Amino acid sequence: MILKISSLIALVIAVLGILFLFNKNYIFSINPITITIQLCSVVLMIRARITFGLRSFHATANTTKGKLVTSGPYRWLRHPIYAAIIYFFWATVISYPFIETIAAVILISGGLFVRMILEEKFLLVAYDEYAAYSKRTKRIIPFLF
């Protein structure tokens, strides 16, 4: 129960960072690099959601329901949905390189990273093959991290 509450708190922290950026109008820009990264992030998000299926379409989704997904973007990343969100918002720093933007993006990334770690605890218990999968597949940056 404490893990689920911690995960929910981490989600709230990430959402607060997103709301801050939205309120300041720091999410979208006309910078072509930012636009390219954000479009690629959206494509990754859509592809990952389609691959993962309906069980990924809400904040309290049961990620351990059904078979372990290791195809599509999950072949390269353990958390492509979180990665897409992180990439999308770090792109805003290119267009809005302010301390407050960086702080908000750190909150978003930190909240999502906590969720990843907690989710992995559940996945290790639910799937015997998750330990091997996590050794060969990086968390959010292919081949690096």
**Integer Cα distance of 75 and 73 in angstroms:** 5
- The answer to whether residue 123 sits within a structural domain is yes
SS3 per-residue string spanning 89-133: HHHHHHHCCCHHHHHHHHHHHHHHHHHHHHHHHHHHHHCCCHHHH
pTM: 0.90
Better pLDDT: 15 or 2: 15
Q: Is residue 142 part of a domain?
A: no
Task: Report if residue 145 sits inside a domain.
Answer: no
Q: Report yes or no: 20 and 111 within 8 Å, Cβ to Cβ.
A: no
Q: Distance of alpha carbon 9 from its chain centroid, rounded?
A: 15
Q: Is there a domain that residue 141 lies in?
A: no
CB-count burial class (<10 Å; 0-12, 13-18, 19+) for 138: middle
> Mean per-residue pLDDT for 97-107?
98
pLDDT tens per residue across span 34-89: 999 999 999 999 999 999 887 666 555 666 677 899 999 999 999 999 999 999 99
Residue 93 resides in a domain: yes
| Residue 113 within any structural domain of the chain | yes
Total of domains in the chain: 1
- What's the pLDDT at 57? 60
Q: Is residue 143 included in any domain, yes or no?
A: no
Handedness of CA 13, 15, 20, 21 (dihedral sign): positive
